[in-house]
Amino acid sequence: MENLFGEIIDQETESTGFFADVIIPVPIPKLFTYKIPRNLKDEIGIGFRVIVQFGQKKILTGIIGKVHQKPPVAYDAKPILDLLDNHATVNPLQIRFWAWMAEYYCCNIGEVMNAALPSGLKLSSESKIQLNPTYDSDTSPYPLDDREDILLQALANKSEMTYDDCVSVLGIKSIHGIIKSLVIKEAILVFEQVKEKYSPKVETRIRLSKEYASDKKALEGVFQELSNKAKQEEILLKYLQEVPVYKNPDLNTKGIEKSVFTDANLSASSLKTLIKNGILEEYKLIISRFEKEEPSEEEIILSELQLDAVAQIKTQLEDKNTLLLHGITGSGKTEIYITLIKEALAGGSQVLLLLPEIALTTHMVGRLRQVFGSDMGVFHSKYSDNERVEVWNGVLSGKLSFVVGVRSSLFLPFDSLGLVIVDEEHESSFKQYEPAPRFQARDSAIMLAWLHQAKTILGSATPSFESFYNARTGKYGYVSLGKRYGEAQLPEYHLADILVDKKKNLLKLDFTRLLRESIQEALKNQEQVLIFQNRRGYAPYISCEDCGWIPECEHCDVSLTYHQFNEEMRCHYCGFKEKVPSTCPACGSNKLSAVGLGTERIEESISLLFPEARVARMDLDTTRSKYGYQRLLEEFGSGNVDILVGTQMITKGLDFGKVTVVGVMDADRILFFPDFRAGERAFQQITQVAGRAGRRDKKGKVIIQTRKPDQQIFHQIIQGDYKNFYIQEMGDRQRFFYPPFVKIIKVTTRHKDYKVAERAARSLHNLMGDIPVKKIMLGPEKGLIGKIKNQFIFESIIKIDKAGNAQAQFKQDLQSLINEMVAHKDFRSVRFVVDVDPY
């Protein structure tokens, strides 16, 4: 039998008696056991990446979860095909974290692994390879063998090759060994279905050879030898001028860009000679996006309030693991974080700062970059896979001890976290909906910190009720900041009654007189305006004025959203799109009109109402590209835009000094949403977007347009009375059994056949009823959206007692019920989705 390196191995491989339980990135409910071949027995450990065969055809990367001597009972263990590294890629804390996540969020550990590992670390038969742009066979210290050479030659003529291509080029089946070896030799990069290829910035650099760098005498000798070779001497002098000789020999091998010499018009051939003679050395450096900036010197001095907050945080964290920092918008939480992060790093701990997706390109990251420079890694969800691998390896190698990132940065290979911060902790985007694991990053961060014996700080101007509750009951520490930094004041609020204006004919293109006048005033003073409406597209839908016909998605139970920009109607659930018909397909009338209000339509209205203003729009449609969001913000920040219209994207973390007016187009839309969190969310979103106004010397103005101005919530928002709003809403939550008083689990049943979906949902619902824990069950009901992508949807909601381990038991029993259900012949193709703590 031939192994992956093409070596003949003896048959005894089969019987080392050692087995490994391997985590593989597929949704199966258990770990599979593989045999450990003899040649790998002493090299394999927990957290190592291995190649295994799964099913008949699939070759996958797995992670060793456990090594033991028990052969599986139900099947014959297949051998591990190969070991990918000589070190663990995943540490034991990570595996514990995965296991916790799988259990808590009712999914499989393989699904967690799949989310956790960047696909560049998951070789499979679907992987592709490309030439490493920094590889140079002439300067590489690693010789290639024949097969490797053939593969590289083949690759040189192509931009990429699939595994199958490699197999056919080499004419052998097992190519993982060769690919692995080429990866180790830094000749190729492996990736998986990435659209965006890796193109790092590569610099050619020159440095002193080791021999001379550590030996001043030898270097002096070189100068003597060069005394009659002026051109070479000049080059060497130039080098030493750029890189002074340090006492520490390691520093002496510091390089400079090759272009320094050419820019100084020094002889290229003399440089070549110096390199040939082994005095200087040429090498390539990948300029990572994390190494561009050096920390800047600028010291910021904390205000007394901030200093006091830092002191309180430290005292409270002596006996609490988690703390809520409740600081109003503009109170200067960032500087408080910075102080705490610096201290944690100085103590040798790692630090993770989680931010909602969209806040990642804002001022906060810029400010952190100023302070931490290249010691900080940024983990963005719009990064390509190779960029993720780069951060991953930075953490693994210890180069990055501080990472600021989106929710998936929880999975980075930290081994000694000391501090985890979750900023804007109330943000619903911390919850992952699809696919599994459907985790809440804030809650998972607390668990992760606990595994590391680290502390967690949750920061927000409008804390989630869950966190506020935990703070009030003493489970979390609590520190509040009630004043903005410096002279900045909170904005003044105005309610503008849409119906009153409408009656008086003062409502123009959905803008009340107050809002129009405030915008006009701001424009006159060359200040900036934000307009918030949480609905993208032109109008929610098109409707026939004669018969009331409304176009719906062919695949989902929702109406199509009208996008005027390209005269299209689009489904926001499945992406289906269609041109707007010229006449009503139901009655033939040509009176089709757009109903409702989306950001596109507001943008258009603004250009009609304020033709002199420069308008931009920020929503999912305008920020799809990698830097789309950043570019828009730069435009706005540099004053090229007067009015920015946007969805909830504009509510987060923006800190622009010239914004003085914020308009909330339709507050009722946020408030009257069929969800128990609607009130909480309205309070948060309105307060957050209002918090963008007047962040410097000039007081800001917030205009909230509504049809029902006398609702109490508006007055609580205006007074900043979060506490009373909370107390009142919590009364309702307690009475009607909602979190944080109960745990909610949502079970969704999907099938393309309505009858099957309904029957499956009923059966499972009845079975769940028998699980012996204290609970309230609702459903099964047709989902709020009854059909998505041709699948009919039914939902059961289970509210479970928080006491004891009721929910743990429920989840465990539920898992086996679902396994039973899908084993039943009628329900084999039904999909059951469990969502723990749904949003």
Judged by CB under 5 A, the stretch of 174-182, 204-212, 447-455, 568-576 that binds Zn ion is 568-576
Residues 773 and 730 sit within 8 Å (Cβ to Cβ): no
Per partner kind, with CB cut-offs from 5 to 8 A, the member of ligand ADP, Zn ion, none near residue 437 is none
Phi then psi dihedrals of residue 256, to 5 deg: -130, 165
Per partner kind, with CB cut-offs from 5 to 8 A, the member of ligand ADP, Zn ion, none near residue 302 is ligand ADP
The three-state DSSP-derived secondary structure of 362-403 is: CHHHHHHHHHHHHHEEEECCCCCHHHHHHHHHHHHCCCCCEE
Judged by CB under 6 A, does residue 302 bind ligand ADP?
yes
Q: Toward ligand ADP, which CB reaches closer, 328 or 602?
A: 328
CA dihedral for 6, 9, 14, 15, sign (positive or negative): negative
Per partner kind, with CB cut-offs from 5 to 8 A, the member of ligand ADP, Zn ion, none near residue 574 is Zn ion
Q: Which of residues 468-487 bind ligand ADP (CB under 6 A)?
A: 485
Judged by CB under 5 A, does residue 574 bind Zn ion?
yes
Distance of CA 449 to the CA centre of its chain: 18
Candidate list 544, 602, 771, 806; residue touching Zn ion; CB under 5 A: 544
Residue 663 parent element (H or E): strand 659-664
Q: Toward ligand ADP, which CB reaches closer, 655 or 729?
A: 655
Candidate list 283, 565, 573, 839; residue touching Zn ion; CB under 5 A: 573
Residues 372 and 402 sit within 8 Å (Cβ to Cβ): yes
Per partner kind, with CB cut-offs from 5 to 8 A, the member of ligand ADP, Zn ion, none near residue 335 is ligand ADP
- Per DSSP, the three-state class of 94 is helix
Tokens of 327: 């600081």
Judged by CB under 6 A, does residue 303 bind ligand ADP?
yes
- Cα–Cα distance, 301 to 660 (Å, whole number): 26
Residues 80 and 20 sit within 8 Å (Cβ to Cβ): yes
Question: Nearest approach, Cβ of 419 to ligand ADP (angstroms)?
Answer: 17
Question: Nearest approach, Cβ of 729 to ligand ADP (angstroms)?
Answer: 23
Judged by CB under 6 A, does residue 37 bind ligand ADP?
no
Judged by CB under 5 A, does residue 555 bind Zn ion?
yes
Judged by CB under 6 A, does residue 306 bind ligand ADP?
yes
Question: Nearest approach, Cβ of 120 to Zn ion (angstroms)?
Answer: 32
Burial 585-608 (b: 16+ CB within 10 A, else e): eeeeeeebebebbbbbbbbbbbee
Q: Is 384 left (phi over 0), alpha (psi -120 to 50) or beta?
A: beta
Q: Toward ligand ADP, which CB reaches closer, 107 or 421?
A: 421
Candidate list 553, 654, 671, 704; residue touching Zn ion; CB under 5 A: 553
- Per DSSP, the three-state class of 91 is coil
Question: Nearest approach, Cβ of 726 to ligand ADP (angstroms)?
Answer: 20
Judged by CB under 6 A, does residue 463 bind ligand ADP?
no
Judged by CB under 5 A, does residue 419 bind Zn ion?
no
Question: Nearest approach, Cβ of 666 to Zn ion (angstroms)?
Answer: 24
At which residue do the structure tokens 């009923």 appear?
762
Neighbours of 800 (CB within 10 A): 23
Per partner kind, with CB cut-offs from 5 to 8 A, the member of Zn ion, ligand ADP, none near residue 499 is none
Judged by CB under 6 A, does residue 493 bind ligand ADP?
no
Q: Toward ligand ADP, which CB reaches closer, 483 or 831?
A: 483
Per partner kind, with CB cut-offs from 5 to 8 A, the member of Zn ion, ligand ADP, none near residue 655 is ligand ADP
Q: Which of residues 519-558 bind ligand ADP (CB under 6 A)?
A: none
- Per DSSP, the three-state class of 185 is coil
- Cα–Cα distance, 190 to 198 (Å, whole number): 10
Please tell me the count of residues contacting ligand ADP according to CB under 6 A: 15
Judged by CB under 5 A, does residue 184 bind Zn ion?
no
Neighbours of 207 (CB within 10 A): 18
Question: Nearest approach, Cβ of 333 to ligand ADP (angstroms)?
Answer: 4
Question: Nearest approach, Cβ of 656 to ligand ADP (angstroms)?
Answer: 9
Judged by CB under 6 A, does residue 300 bind ligand ADP?
yes
Peptide bond preceding 740 in cis form (omega within 30 of 0) = yes
Of 530, 515, 483, residue with least CA distance to 659:
530
> What distance separates the 2 farthest-apart alpha carbons in the chain?
97
Question: Nearest approach, Cβ of 598 to Zn ion (angstroms)?
Answer: 17
Neighbours of 212 (CB within 10 A): 22
Peptide bond preceding 780 in cis form (omega within 30 of 0) = yes
Q: Toward ligand ADP, which CB reaches closer, 686 or 761?
A: 686
Q: Toward ligand ADP, which CB reaches closer, 67 or 302?
A: 302
- Cα–Cα distance, 634 to 366 (Å, whole number): 12
Please give the DSSP secondary-structure letter assigned to residue 725.
H
Strand 188-191 relative to strand 128-131, pairing: antiparallel
Q: Toward ligand ADP, which CB reaches closer, 327 or 646?
A: 327
Candidate list 454, 571, 602, 745; residue touching Zn ion; CB under 5 A: 571
Per partner kind, with CB cut-offs from 5 to 8 A, the member of ligand ADP, Zn ion, none near residue 330 is ligand ADP
Residues 592 and 571 sit within 8 Å (Cβ to Cβ): no
Judged by CB under 5 A, the stretch of 143-151, 186-194, 455-463, 536-544 that binds Zn ion is 536-544
Instruction: Transcribe 619-635 into DSSP letters.
Output: SGGG--STTHHHHHHHH
Q: Which of residues 644-703 bind ligand ADP (CB under 6 A)?
A: 655
Judged by CB under 5 A, does residue 752 bind Zn ion?
no
- Cα–Cα distance, 732 to 728 (Å, whole number): 7
Per partner kind, with CB cut-offs from 5 to 8 A, the member of Zn ion, ligand ADP, none near residue 303 is ligand ADP
Judged by CB under 5 A, does residue 577 bind Zn ion?
no
Question: Nearest approach, Cβ of 121 to ligand ADP (angstroms)?
Answer: 34
Residues 238 and 261 sit within 8 Å (Cβ to Cβ): yes
- Cα–Cα distance, 180 to 188 (Å, whole number): 9
Question: Nearest approach, Cβ of 366 to ligand ADP (angstroms)?
Answer: 10
Question: Nearest approach, Cβ of 434 to ligand ADP (angstroms)?
Answer: 30
Q: Does 107 belong to an annotated binding site?
A: no
Per partner kind, with CB cut-offs from 5 to 8 A, the member of ligand ADP, Zn ion, none near residue 169 is none
CA dihedral for 710, 713, 718, 719, sign (positive or negative): positive
Q: Toward ligand ADP, which CB reaches closer, 261 or 485?
A: 485
Per partner kind, with CB cut-offs from 5 to 8 A, the member of ligand ADP, Zn ion, none near residue 555 is Zn ion
- Cα–Cα distance, 651 to 686 (Å, whole number): 8
Q: Which of residues 582-641 bind Zn ion (CB under 5 A)?
A: 584, 586-587, 589
Tokens of 448: 């992760």
Question: Nearest approach, Cβ of 537 to Zn ion (angstroms)?
Answer: 14
| CA distances in angstroms from 123 to 24, 29, 52, listed in the order given | 11, 22, 10
Per partner kind, with CB cut-offs from 5 to 8 A, the member of ligand ADP, Zn ion, none near residue 74 is none
Per partner kind, with CB cut-offs from 5 to 8 A, the member of ligand ADP, Zn ion, none near residue 514 is none
User: Closest residue (Cβ) to ligand ADP?
Assistant: 332
**x/- letters, 317..356, toward ligand ADP (CB under 6 A):** ----------x-xxxxxxx---------------------
- Cα–Cα distance, 673 to 537 (Å, whole number): 19
Q: Does 574 belong to an annotated binding site?
A: yes
Pinpoint the alpha helices (H) of 691-794: 712-719, 722-735, 754-769
CA dihedral for 174, 178, 184, 186, sign (positive or negative): negative
C-alpha gyration radius of the chain: 31
| Binding-site residue positions | 544, 547, 553, 556, 571, 574, 584, 587
Applying CB under 5 A, the residues found at the interface with Zn ion are: 544, 546-547, 549, 553, 555-556, 571, 573-574, 576, 584, 586-587, 589
Applying CB under 6 A, the residues found at the interface with ligand ADP are: 300-303, 306, 327, 329-335, 485, 655
